[in-house]
Amino acid sequence: MSGELEKKSVEELKEMAKKVKIKGYYKMRKSELIEALSEEQTSNVDEESRKSILSEIEKNPKIYELRNIAKRLGITFQRNARKDELKERILRLLARPGLEIKRFGISSGPAPEKSVPVSSSSYVDLPSSYYRDTLQGLPVNPSWLSFYWDFSKQMSALVDRLSRENQPVMLRVYDVTFLIFNGSNAHRIWEYRINGKEKKYYVQVASPAASYLAEIGYYNEAGVFVPLLRSNLVKTPASSLSNRQEERWIDLAKHLRFTQTHISLVSQPTLLPTGLSSLSSEEMRSSFSSVLFSTGNAQKTISDKEPKE
Amino acid sequence: MNKGYLTLVLHAHLPYVRHPEFEEFMEERWLFEAMTETYIPLLRSFESLENDGIPFRITMSITPPLMEMLEAKDLQEKYIRHLEKLIELSKKEVGRTRSEHPTKHKMARYYLKDFEETLVYFRDRVQSRLLEGFKHFQDNGFLEIITCNATHGFLPLMNRYPQAVKAQISQGVKTYEKYLGRKPSGIWLAECGYVKGVEKPLAEEGISFFFVDSHGLWYAENPPRYGVYRPVMTESGVFAFGRDPESSEQVWSGDIGYPGDFRYREFYRDVGFDREADYIAPYIDRSGARVNTGIKYHRVTGKNVELGKKDYYDVEEAHRVAYDHAQDFIGKKSAQVEALYDQFAGVQPIVVAPFDAELFGHWWFEGPKFIENLFRCMNETEILKPITPKAFIDDSLTSVQITTPADSTWGANGYNEVWINGSNDWIYPHLDEMAERMTRLANDFYDETDPVKIRALQQAMRELLLAQSSDWAFIMSTGTTVAYAVNRTKQHIVRFNELFEALYKGQIDEKCLEHYEWIDGIFSDPDYRLYAVR
């Protein structure tokens, strides 16, 4: 049901959400927008529209009219879907007793056999904050890091006050590779102004196989950076041959360790370290990690010239 | 003369999708399709090799969630119903195709026979227990089954919480022992995701080896002399084997990869989509959503041929092609190890070729035949021999290089970006908070004796483990069935937080707990104290 929506850009979805007056649409992620919109679309089938659609269908509508009804109901269909097929899909949707089950477009079958406690209903809201002071760094790849943070209520109040007083709150990232960090001795420092709403930031850094940490803080009147939170140490993965010239070995029978100067008996890797799934393959058409999700339920578009079976 | 070894690794995994609260559930088809198209055909290929006395060696990770699903009675029963429906549909197809096209009709008969045999194999031969089928080949020395971390959690983004990593690994070992009756020799780290430090909990669990992607060895702290063609040992004493990039390319590449052969079966033409609605309705999802049935009549036909213009598929011809491809692969591997053997001045290389098991059969329909033929062809040559990592370590390795592999995964571009990007990064603040809270719970309730509270603690652990499945983040990145993955993640987070609060308030709603145990019932008796910091 949400298939059509997924093809749309975030901008288009926001536009749609605005039209149907979904609350807080402007700060929603794509997945949230799709959820809200598909919910909107199914919940729109109130008794009155149900009746009116049924009467439209009784009048034996043309294929394009059926397509419009189906679209209105958020039914995903193929371009070459036949008239009776569309009609059947529409009727089946209208006949469904528990439309809310279909909200995520995932479940099928009848309603749960056992009574379900309220808390496990399929629509759930996650806490927007755990009200704890934390700044976490996660490695994305050799040149990108991701940071997210969360504030306690006191910290939130402080950050709000700072921005009201035009003292910008900054995310500072330090390159501390092979250093014992003392608060200022980094190889390099990057600074980004952060706003109150987004609680994450992706940072491009200079080197692979390097260590970074970040602080959130502000400049006081004297122009001194005052840190409020410090992150964990986060390392970018290596992306080239190590320059160490030593090989360490162990004789497994004698449990004897020895070292040798490195000799490479293999040619330098010619393939980039791409990981299996990025091998571009026309035949693959799906990412590697799980062939089943990406193919099992894929939306098919069969040419209109398809011979009739 | 034996100049080198081939280690074929099949990683069999599906996320825990089990909905006892529904009579039918669309995403449970992932399991059923994998059973019909991959697991059972593989077992039947193994059987055929065993009968012909071909000494094959395969390393196969069967992940804990997959083990749990394969052993679940309700899913076994649902699968039999699913197969019976499929057989019913095949019978109709046999009748219908008689007047449509002879090749199509031949295939309809093939499917009917194949599904009937599948049902007999499943119900009678292994008494609905595919794990027993796999175990048989492990006991006979053909198959080395290894484990995986508990719910396929993505360790490179979890390592800030060592207890969470430890619990993932420890539960992975425990589930393996429960079903296979011994300790696993090795592990497949979910998504081939290695990050410095995970070797320590592996060593603590007595695991002897794991795998890394090629660049995990290429860019190791001390460069390995033999590249990816000999294992290395980490400081913890656990061995790491590196993926051979050439083997994967021969299977995956768009230009030279085997599955794209024009004579192989086309994945995207299925009667589930091709037949008219009222005819196919009983065999697709109850909502009317079209799904794959597994009955497909067309072949790849050519590059860039529209789906509507595909030719009919002939399984006999395709099986001959699968034999030729196996022969070609073994020829290439033999040449590769011969060249490496000379380069290494007489040291035998080991070529490690890991794949998703579901590639074979589900995606590449002829894949299980290819694997079977691989070992038939390998049996004809002296140069190349199949081996498991365990046997290689025990029999062939006298000295080994010590180093720490580079952080790496087998995801797109080789690092973490599939599992952390704008589409899925919202999960990490929650997963991290849950890991911290679980440690708090384990510390505060370490000596808990109240059985209801212990159940709530165990259920909290299940919700955390299930939320950590790398599959959800992966699905959010790839864009198919996103709503399901988002919803699953959210539900596990919410249920966890509910249990967390209920435990501290001392108000556990037993009815609700029982419900969660029923719908998220992975792993019996998990040890929540693994999360404690003592």
Cross-chain CB nearest to B483 (options A106, A200, A302):
A106
Number of A–B residue contacts, CB under 8 Å: 361
Do both A37 and A94 map to the same domain? yes
> Which residues in chain B have their CB less than 8 angstroms from residue A147's CB?
none
Cβ-contact A188, A175 below 8 angstroms = yes
Does the pLDDT at position A296 exceed 50? no
Express each pLDDT in A119-141 by its tens digit: 333 457 899 999 999 999 999 99
Average pLDDT over residues B392-400: 95
Query: In percent, how much of chain B has pLDDT > 70?
Result: 100
Do both A38 and A77 map to the same domain? yes
Would residue A127 count as lying in a domain? Answer: no
Per-residue confidence (pLDDT) for residue A45, from 0 to 100: 58
Express each pLDDT in A12-43 by its tens digit: 787 777 776 676 777 777 777 777 776 555 44
Per-residue confidence (pLDDT) for residue A87, from 0 to 100: 76
Cβ neighbours of residue A73 under 8 Å, at least 6 residues apart? A41, A42, A45, A53, A90, A93
Express each pLDDT in B278-332 by its tens digit: 999 999 998 889 999 999 999 999 988 999 999 999 999 999 999 999 999 999 9
Compute the distance between CA of residue B331 and CA of residue B456 in angstroms, rounded to an integer. Answer: 56
Query: In percent, how much of chain B has pLDDT > 90?
Result: 95
Would residue A72 count as lying in a domain? Answer: yes
Do both A82 and A7 map to the same domain? yes
Q: Is residue B278 classed exposed, middle or buried when 0-12, 13-18 and 19+ CB atoms within 10 A define those classes?
A: exposed
Cβ-contact B441, B500 below 8 angstroms = yes
Most distant CA pair in chain A, distance: 89
Per-residue confidence (pLDDT) for residue A102, from 0 to 100: 27
Q: A305, B300: Cβ pair inside 8 Å?
A: no
DSSP A51: H
Q: How confident is the model at residue B185 (pLDDT cuts 50, 70, 90)?
A: very high
Express each pLDDT in B63-84 by its tens digit: 999 999 999 999 999 999 999 9
Would residue A60 count as lying in a domain? Answer: yes
Beta strand pairing call for B209-212 and A225-230: unpaired
Cβ-contact B155, B198 below 8 angstroms = yes
Express each pLDDT in B457-509 by its tens digit: 999 999 999 999 999 999 999 888 899 999 999 999 999 999 999 999 999 99
Cβ-contact B468, B522 below 8 angstroms = no
Does the pLDDT at position A90 exceed 80? no
Cβ-contact B91, B105 below 8 angstroms = no
Cross-chain CB nearest to B248 (options A34, A249, A276):
A276
Q: Which residues between 75 and 134 in chain A have a beta carbon less than 8 angstroms from any beta carbon of chain B? A: 76, 78, 82, 84-85, 88-89, 92-93, 102, 104-110, 112-114, 116-117, 119-120, 122, 124, 126-127, 130, 132, 134
**Tokens matching residue B222:** 């001390």
Q: Which residue of B has its CA nearest to A116?
A: B515
- Domain's final residue, options A106, A121, A145: A106
Say whether B306 is catalytic: no
Per-residue confidence (pLDDT) for residue A59, from 0 to 100: 72
Q: How confident is the model at residue A51 (pLDDT cuts 50, 70, 90)?
A: low
Least confident of A7-11, A154-158, B243-247, B403-407: A7-11
Chain A contact for B532, CB < 8 A? no
Do both A161 and A89 map to the same domain? no
DSSP A103: G
Least confident of A19-28, A273-282, B104-113, B265-274: A273-282
State which residues form the domain around A147: 134-235
Do both A149 and A91 map to the same domain? no
Does the pLDDT at position B113 exceed 90? yes
Do both A64 and A158 map to the same domain? no
- Using DSSP's 3-state secondary structure scheme, residue B370 falls into helix
Chain A contact for B98, CB < 8 A? no
Shortest alpha-carbon distance between residue A39 and chain B (Å): 12
Do both A17 and A97 map to the same domain? yes
Would residue A39 count as lying in a domain? Answer: yes
Q: How confident is the model at residue B425 (pLDDT cuts 50, 70, 90)?
A: very high
Q: How confident is the model at residue A266 (pLDDT cuts 50, 70, 90)?
A: confident
Average pLDDT, chain A: 73
Per-residue confidence (pLDDT) for residue A110, from 0 to 100: 31
Q: How confident is the model at residue B449 (pLDDT cuts 50, 70, 90)?
A: very high
- Domain's final residue, options A187, A204, A235: A235
Per-residue confidence (pLDDT) for residue B457, from 0 to 100: 98
Cα–Cα nearest to A97, from A50, A40, A56: A50
Do both A152 and A216 map to the same domain? yes
The total domain count for chain A is 2
Average pLDDT, chain B: 96
Q: Which residues between 235 and 264 in chain A have a beta carbon less than 8 angstroms from any beta carbon of chain B? A: 235, 237-242, 244, 246-253, 257, 262-264
Say whether B358 is catalytic: no
Would residue A302 count as lying in a domain? Answer: no
Express each pLDDT in A140-189 by its tens digit: 999 999 999 999 999 999 999 998 888 889 999 999 999 998 888 899 99
- Domain's final residue, options A235, A259, A284: A235
Cross-chain CB nearest to B412 (options A110, A112, A287):
A287
Cβ-contact B337, B384 below 8 angstroms = yes
Q: How confident is the model at residue A7 (pLDDT cuts 50, 70, 90)?
A: confident
Do both A161 and A231 map to the same domain? yes
Q: A303, B306: Cβ pair inside 8 Å?
A: yes
Does the pLDDT at position A228 exceed 90? yes
Do both A68 and A148 map to the same domain? no
Per-residue confidence (pLDDT) for residue A157, from 0 to 100: 93
The interface predicted TM-score of the complex, written ipTM, equals 0.95
Would residue A129 count as lying in a domain? Answer: no
Cross-chain CB nearest to B191 (options A241, A246, A289):
A289
> Which residues in chain B have their CB less than 8 angstroms from residue A77's CB?
none
Per-residue confidence (pLDDT) for residue A288, from 0 to 100: 34
For residue A192, the domain's CATH number is 2.60.40.10
Residue B53: how many other CB atoms lie within 10 Å: 7
Beta strand pairing call for B232-233 and B239-242: antiparallel
Average pLDDT over residues B233-239: 97
Express each pLDDT in B334-352 by its tens digit: 999 999 999 999 999 999 9
Would residue A249 count as lying in a domain? Answer: no
Do both A80 and A159 map to the same domain? no
Do both A8 and A102 map to the same domain? yes
Would residue A261 count as lying in a domain? Answer: no
For each of the domains in chain B, give its residue range(s) and CATH number, in order of start: 4-71+129-255+327-412 (3.20.110.10), 420-531 (1.20.1430.10)
Average pLDDT over residues B397-415: 95
